Structure 1
Amino acid sequence: MEMIPCLPDEIARECLIRVPYRGFSTVSAVCRGWKEEIESLQFQQQRKASGLTRPIVVLTQAHFTGNSGGATKYSIPPSYRLTVYEPVTGIWAELPPVPGFSDGLPLFCQVAGVGLKLVVVGGWNPENWAVSKAVLVYDFVSATWHRGADMPGVPRSFFACASDSDRMVFVAGGHDDGKNALRSAMVYDVAKDEWVPLPDMAQQRDECKGIFHAGKFHVIGGYRTDMQGRFEKSAEAFDVSTWQWNQVQEDMLEAGTCPRTCVADDVGKIYRCWNGQVAVLEESGSWKAVAELPSDVRVGPCLVTWQGKLLVIGSATHGGFHMSYVLDLHCYKWTRVEAPEEYTGHAQAGCCLEI
């Protein structure tokens, strides 16, 4: 059957690949053939080759309630939702609420983009602060949520999490209900909706940071049970091709440094906020400052990268408005991002999808 009557399929496909991602749910509801087309790998490849894909930044961001003085005022605990920033258009929006969590997103949950899906993993239930093992998947094609397979094993908090952007979401470390730091790791296959255990890391890592680049899942920093809050300098990486952990990198960070701002760009460079600067990890293993952070994003910064750009969201003071800036990673120049007031709440985590 022709995708569009009286048109060759290649012309029909040229029409469909030009539909903005916000129209995917409407177009895919027209007929089964259009839905299958939009979900196909061929469709995404052609859309990307034609330069029609767009970066979409997704953030776990607190609902903002302000007053005339400009100070931020949150309920206790703060209520978080998923917000979307489109760098190309400058549009800010909010994703549909996660079903089953009437008081907002699980606190401290992790988010990862996998193809045309957003995966929300773990966190604390905002109603009772119980640790959640839930996996929630948002499909940008159908604009709907569904529940994935729960994380296996003990409930864990403050774990490292990252995706390969294609099929897998990796999880490692964190701590259990007894505040015991964990070495265990696992991977979630989004297409199969199943978890697979990975070999244990070399050491326990609570409050570690996960990033994925160059075919490896990197777990940075964290601390052991007996060190409670005293962060390690080391990192280790799981090589997907060999299905094993590489040798521990002992001095990736300075002692006592929280790794939460570490991010990788699309060419494999690792950046982080450090001493009021954005710094890049050089091949020598040392950190080099490349740009001074704007003064109004230095408190609680959240970082997301895409296509040679670095988004930083933070505030000038605790409890203040959260401002947004983009750093061009080619020339290290800042651009202020204008956001409506309702999108100036605290951002806990973020990721980027190319749709």
Structure 2
Amino acid sequence: MDFLEELPEQIFRDILLRVPYKSQQQIKQLLERAKEMMECVQFYQDRIKFGLAEKYICFLEHAAISIYDPVDQSCIMRTHIPTGFRTLPDSQILCVKNKLILVGLTSERKYTMETLIYDVLSGTWKQAAQIPIGKRRFACCATPEGSIYIAGGYAKYDNAGEPREAAVYKVDEDKWELLPQMVEEVGFCRGFFFEGMFYVIGSVCQRFDPSTGVWSIVNMGRQSLWSIYNLFERLLAFSMNRIMQYDWEGNVWRELDPLPRVLWGQVYATEWRDQIFLCGNDAPSIDHPTIFYMYKPGAPFFERWISLDKLKLVGRNVIYVATIEI
């Protein structure tokens, strides 16, 4: 490795940019010079810019977070959540640039809902600013610009706030801001961002326009509440034995594809390359994922579904999933 230390700066950096993420930790341990470069945000941005970054699946587990490569179904990173915080069944993991944001954790020291940030480049944890809304079963999503919206849910913690409150978290500024209150209070709900709008689906569907700061009620019909996602700019609902897609013009849910197995309860789904990674359980008595698939919409039927059987080993601990490009 000594000859690498002697290479000119630009050549050395160009070589590092092409090192796969799963090998970067080993390189950083061997070369201090490489560690400084690889943990720089500009290094991450250049990997994205030049098409060298790779996409992986992130799991929020009961006491840890992990990153898996779905190609060979191997775990390439796993780290425990810091002492003093614990996950809940409705905690979520979201990806904003090179950071994994854990929303909806509870503090063991005080009865509040908390947010943690894991920097994938440096491998370090940080507690985010105090969230102004402490509720369960809330709607939450990240925007392409790097903000996190949260709304709805039912009061649970000391920092619960008012029933109709919503908030946005600016990740780069580490700052929460309260939004105008929703039109109606909504308990169990899901959230997604679509064409610049934040949607909250529960007993009623409400939409927030960040450009005007106004909430409105919209009619979107009813589907499986806990398994609705915006994937590749298509609103999809995973409902036991089928995938439904929302037709915005016709204001109706239409069947897109049957599922290869009946999936009970919560189905977790996220984008990966041009495919959709999803997991769920195959029995009503089980409360964790037991079935893992990669789904390619529009592919020939026998190529549409790929079973990821090796991931069953981590399934017992999975609470939520996300995709990171790093």
* TM-fit CA distance, 1:297: 3.2
| CA distance 1:334–1:298, shift in 2 (3 Å) | farther
Give the equivalent residue in structure 1 for 2:256: 290
| Per-residue Cα deviation, 1:301-320 (whole angstroms, up to 9, x for no partner) | 22222333222211221345
**What secondary structure is seen at the aligned counterpart in 2 of 1:280?**
strand
| Per-residue Cα deviation, 1:280-335 (whole angstroms, up to 9, x for no partner) | 11232211111111225344322222333222211221345611011102337111
**What secondary structure is seen at the aligned counterpart in 2 of 1:203?**
coil
**What secondary structure is seen at the aligned counterpart in 1 of 2:184?**
coil
Give the equivalent residue in structure 2 for 1:65: none
Give the equivalent residue in structure 2 for 1:228: none
Task: Tell me how far apart the structure 1 counterparts of residues 17 and 209 of structure 2 sit (CA, whole Å).
Answer: 35
Aligned pairs for 1:136-155 within 5 A:
136-152=116-132, 154-155=133-134
Task: Tell me how far apart the structure 1 counterparts of residues 312 and 215 of structure 2 sit (CA, whole Å).
Answer: 45
Say yes or no: does 1:199 pair with 2:180: yes
**What secondary structure is seen at the aligned counterpart in 2 of 1:59?**
strand
**What secondary structure is seen at the aligned counterpart in 2 of 1:95?**
strand
Say yes or no: does 1:323 pair with 2:294: no
* TM-fit CA distance, 1:262: 0.9
Q: Counterpart of 1:144 in structure 2: which amino acid?
A: T
Task: Tell me how far apart the structure 1 counterparts of residues 84 and 167 of structure 2 sit (CA, whole Å).
Answer: 25
- Partner of residue 249 from structure 1, selected from 181, 201, 218: 218
| CA distance 1:326–1:131, shift in 2 (3 Å) | farther
Task: Tell me how far apart the structure 2 counterparts of residues 308 and 246 of structure 1 sit (CA, whole Å).
Answer: 33
Give the equivalent residue in structure 2 for 1:40: 41
Deviates more, 1:168-177 or 1:135-144: 168-177
| CA distance 1:6–1:80, shift in 2 (3 Å) | closer
- Partner of residue 207 from structure 2, selected from 236, 242, 267: 236
| Per-residue Cα deviation, 1:193-242 (whole angstroms, up to 9, x for no partner) | 111222222221222111123333222x22xxxxxxxx33x231333xx1
Say yes or no: does 1:99 pair with 2:65: no
| CA distance 1:341–1:269, shift in 2 (3 Å) | closer
Matched-pair identity in %:
21
Native 8 Å contact 1:122 1:134 kept in 2:
yes
Give the equivalent residue in structure 1 for 2:324: 353
Which residues of structure 1 form unaligned runs of 5+?
A: 62-78, 223-230
* TM-fit CA distance, 1:115: 0.6
| CA distance 1:340–1:277, shift in 2 (3 Å) | closer
Aligned pairs for 1:1-355 within 5 A:
5-7=6-8, 9=10, 11-24=11-24, 35=36, 38-41=39-42, 43-61=43-61, 79-92=62-75, 95-101=78-84, 105-124=87-106, 132-152=112-132, 154-177=133-156, 182-219=163-200, 221-222=201-202, 231-232=203-204, 234-239=205-210, 242-245=211-214, 247-250=216-219, 252-254=220-222, 257-266=223-232, 268-274=233-239, 276-284=241-249, 285-295=251-261, 297-320=263-286, 322-331=290-299, 333-345=304-316, 347-355=318-326
What is the number of residues matched between the two proteins? 314
Native 8 Å contact 1:122 1:131 kept in 2:
no
Deviates more, 1:136-145 or 1:83-92: 83-92
Task: Tell me how far apart the structure 1 counterparts of residues 93 and 55 of structure 2 sit (CA, whole Å).
Answer: 16
* TM-fit CA distance, 1:37: 6.1
| CA distance 1:7–1:243, shift in 2 (3 Å) | farther
Task: Tell me how far apart the structure 2 counterparts of residues 32 and 93 of structure 1 sit (CA, whole Å).
Answer: 22
**What secondary structure is seen at the aligned counterpart in 1 of 2:316?**
coil
| Per-residue Cα deviation, 1:242-279 (whole angstroms, up to 9, x for no partner) | 152353212x132xx4422111123x111111352111
TM-score between the two structures when normalised by the length of structure 2: 0.83
Which residues of structure 2 form unaligned runs of 5+?
A: none
Q: Counterpart of 1:82 in structure 2: which amino acid?
A: I
Deviant stretches of 4+, over 6 Å: 178-181
Native 8 Å contact 2:139 2:189 kept in 1:
yes
Native 8 Å contact 1:270 1:281 kept in 2:
yes
